[in-house]
Structure 1
Amino acid sequence: MIFTLLFLAAVAVIAGIWLFRQGLTSKPWLESAAPAMASAPPVPAARMGLRVFITVATGFLVLLVSAYSIRMEMADWRPPPQPGLLWVNTGVLIVSSLALQWARSAAGRGDIQAVQDGLVFGGTSAIVFLLGQLMAWREMANAGYLLTSNPANAFFYIITAAHALHVLGGLVALARAGMWLRRGAAIGRLRLSVDLCTTYWHFLLVAWLVLFSLLAFAPSFSWLYAICTAPFR
C-alpha cells in the first residue's frame, strides 16, 4: 500500500509541474494587460487533448505497476518464464517509434514522400509488434501458463493486452494521419497530425519499456521496494 501511495504521489507531482508549465496557476486579474499580438499562440485542442490522455494513461500505468508490485509479494506468486519473443517485439516497437520520428522530421522539412514512407514503415512495424504479442500469448498458453492458472499469469496477459489496446488506438490515429496525407491536406495540419502521432508513439515505447522491465526483471526490484517502505516500518 505504501508503494502505491508513493507512485501516486509521484504522478501528482508530475501533473502539478505540467499544470504549472501550462500557466494554469497564474492570476490574470493581478497581471497587467498585454497587447493581444504579444500573447503566446494558443495550444491546439488536439495537442491539449493528447496531453490529458497521456496524463490519464500514465496514471493507469502507475496503478498497474503498483498492483503488480504489491501482488508479487504474496506467497502464491509464481512468475512464468517470459517468452524470448518479447525481446524481439521490443526491438520492433523501437523501430516503429524511430520511423515516426523520421516522419516528424520529414514533415518539418515539407518532404511529403518521406512522411509517407515514415508513416507506412511505422504503422507496419506496429502491426508486426501486435502480431508478435499474439504469438507470445500463444507460446505462453501452449506451455500451460493460462490466464487462470496463477495471478502472475493473469498480470502478464492483462499488462500486455492493455498496452496492445493502446497500440491499436495509435494505429487508428496513424491511419487518420495517412488519410490527411492522401487528401493533400495543408502542410500545417499534416505536421500537427504527424507530430501528435509521433508523441503518442514515443509514449507507447516508454510505457512498454517500463512494463517489459517489470515483467522481465520484477524480482530484482525488491531492493527498491525495501528502500521505499523502510521509513514506514
Structure 2
Amino acid sequence: MNVTLIFLAAIGAIIIWWLSGQRLTSKPWLETGSVQLPAHDDARRQQSPVPAVKLGLFVFLGVVGALFSLAVSAYFMRMASADWWGMPIPRLLWINTAALALSSVALQWAKREAQYCHMESLRPALVTGLALAVFFLIGQIQAWRELTAAGYVLTDNPANSFFYMLTGLHGLHILGGLAVLAHTTVGAFSADVQPERLRLSVDLSAIYSHFMLAVWLLLFALFAGWANDFVDLCRTLLN
C-alpha cells in the first residue's frame, strides 16, 4: 500500500507541475488595469488554450498509472508468500529497454521538429520511433518464448504469473500507442497535412511514449530486484 501511495503522489505532483505551466491556476480577475506587461507575458497571453484531447490524455495516464501502481502493490504483497520463487531476467530485456528508450528519444526529437515544421527531419524521426517501438514489442514476445522454453510457464509459480501479466498489460498499452503513432506517421507523409493538427498529434504521442517508458523502467527494476532493495531502504529510513 505504501508503494501505491508513493506512486500516486508522484503522478499527482507531475500533473500539478504541468497544470502550473499551462497558466490554469492564474487569476484573471486580478489582472485588470492599464499596467503594461512585458512582451513575453503578452506572448503567453496569446497562446491557445490547452486542447481538450491533451487534458484527456493526462487523465487517462493518471488512470493507467493507478492501475499499474495497484498491480505493483499486489506484486510486493504476494512476494511475502512461501510459494514465491524468483525467475531469471532474460538478457533480451536489456535490449528491449534500450529500444524503448531510443523510441522515446526519437519521438522527443520529432516533437521538436514538429514545432518548427521541419518535415524533412520530422518524418524520419517518426518512422524511427515507430520502428523501435515495434522492435520492443517483438522483443518482449521473444523473451516470453525464451522463458517458456526454459520451463518458466505462466502457472508454475506466482512470480511467473505476475511477470507475464505485467509485461502483457504494458505491451497492450504500447500496442494502443502504436496505433496512434502509426496514424500520425502516415499523416506526416500526406500532402495536405495540417501543421497544427500534426504538431498536436506528435506532442501527444511523445507524452504517451515517455510515460510508457517510465512505467517499463519501474517494472524492469521490479523484476530485476532493484525495487525490492529500494523499498527495504525506505522502510529502514522510516523506521
Q: TM tier, shorter chain?
A: 0.7 to 0.9
Q: Residue 203 of structure 1: which of 205, 211, 220 is its match?
A: 211
Query: Compared with structure 1, are the counterparts of its residues 27 and 195 closer, same or farther at alpha carbon in structure 2 (3 Å cutoff)?
Result: closer
Match of 2:169, SS state, is: helix
Which residue matches 1:216? 224
1:147/1:176 CA distance change after superposition, 3 Å: same
2:46 maps to 1:47: no
2 CA distance for matches of 1:92 and 1:56? 25
Q: CA RMSD in A?
A: 2.7
Letter paired with 1:10: A
Which of 86, 99, 103 is the aligned partner of 2:93? Answer: 86
Give deviations 1:118-172, integer Å, cap 9, x for gaps: 1111111111100000000001111111111100000000111011011101101
Secondary structure in structure 2 of the residue aligned to 1:211: helix
The offset of 1:197, in angstroms, is: 0.5
> Does residue 203 of structure 2 align to residue 188 of structure 1?
no
- Could you say which residue in structure 1 is the equivalent of 2:36? none
1:128 aligns with 2:135: yes
Q: Secondary structure at the match of 1:10?
A: helix
Question: How does 1:84-233 map onto structure 2 within 5 Å?
Answer: 84-183=91-190, 184-217=192-225, 218-221=227-230, 223-224=232-233, 226-227=235-236, 230=239
Change (3 A) 1:137 1:61: same
| 2-structure distance, mates of 1:194, 1:44 | 14
The sequence identity of aligned pairs, in percent, is 45
Paired residues, what number? 226
Distance across 2 between alignment mates of 1:20 and 1:163: 26
Higher normalized contact order (CA 8 Å, seq sep 6+, divided by chain length): 1
**What's 2:79 paired with?**
72
Distance 1:20 1:176, change over 3 A: closer
- After superposition, the C-alpha distances for 1:12-50 in whole angstroms (9 at most, x for unaligned) are 85378369737777898xx45869x95863210111111
Name stretches of at least 5 consecutive residues in structure 1 with no aligned partner.
none
Which shifted more, 19-28 or 97-106? 19-28
Unaligned runs of 5+ in 2: 34-41
